[in-house]
Amino acid sequence: MRKLIISCMALAMLVACSNSKGNNARKEERTTVETKVPEGKENPTMTFLHQKEPTNTVGLPVLDMKKEYPKKTIALQDIADVEYIVLESHEDGLVGHQDIIMTDSFIITMREMEDVVFFRRDGSFSHYFSRKGGSGEEYSRFADLCVDPLLREVYIHDWQRHKLQVYTYEGEYKRTLRVKAEGYTWGKIHCLSKDTRSLLMEDLMNVNNKVEKHTNPRPYYMLSVTDGTVSRLPLTIKKRIGNSVSYYDKEADKFITISTSISPISNINGGLIFADFALDTIYQYKDKHFVPIAKKENWMKENGTPWLVAPDAVTEDFFMWTAVEKDFNKTILPTRTFLQNRHTGKCIQVKLTDRNITAEGYPFRAPMTANCHILPDNTVLQYYRSYELLALYEGGKLQGELKEIASKLDVEDNPVIMLAKFK
- As beta bridge partners, residue 318 has 341
Most confident of 52-61, 265-274, 300-309, 324-333: 300-309
Average pLDDT for 363-375:
72
Kindly report the CA angle at 403 between 397 and 405, in degrees rounded to 5? 140
Are β-strands 416-422 and 173-178 bridged in parallel, bridged antiparallel, or unpaired?
unpaired
- Give the sheet arrangement for strand 71-75, strand by strand: 71-75, 347-353, 335-341, 318-325, 307-314
pLDDT tens column, 175-217: 999 888 887 877 888 877 666 688 999 988 878 766 567 888 9
pLDDT at 33 exceeding the cut of 70: no
Q: How far is CA 42 from CA 37, 46, 78, 79, 420, in A?
A: 8, 8, 11, 12, 20
To the nearest whole number, what is the mean pLDDT of the chain? 83
What's residue 269's pLDDT? 81
User: 296 — phi, psi (to 5°)?
Assistant: -125, 150
Closest CA to 262 of 242, 239, 247, 278: 242
Enumerate domains of the chain plus CATH numbers: 8-422 (2.120.10.30)
What's residue 287's pLDDT? 82
pLDDT at 422 exceeding the cut of 60: yes
pLDDT band at 42 (very low <50, low <70, confident <90, very high): low
Helix (H, G, I), strand (E, B) or coil at 387: helix
Q: What is the enclosing helix (H) or strand (E) of 191?
A: strand 187-193
Q: State how far the Cα of 330 lies from the Cα of 321, in Å rounded to an integer.
A: 22
CB–CB of 192/199 below 8 Å? yes
pLDDT at 134 exceeding the cut of 50: yes
Chain-centroid distance of CA 363 in Å reads: 16
pLDDT at 61 exceeding the cut of 90: yes
pLDDT at 376 exceeding the cut of 80: yes
Kindly report whether the global pTM for this prediction surpasses the value 0.75: yes
CA 69, 75, 78, 82 torsion: positive or negative? positive
pLDDT band at 369 (very low <50, low <70, confident <90, very high): low
pLDDT at 54 exceeding the cut of 80: no
Kindly report the CA angle at 13 between 23 and 47, in degrees rounded to 5? 90
pLDDT tens column, 167-180: 999 999 999 998 88
Count Cβ atoms within 10 A of the Cβ of residue 267 and give its class: 0-12 exposed, 13-18 middle, 19 or more buried: buried
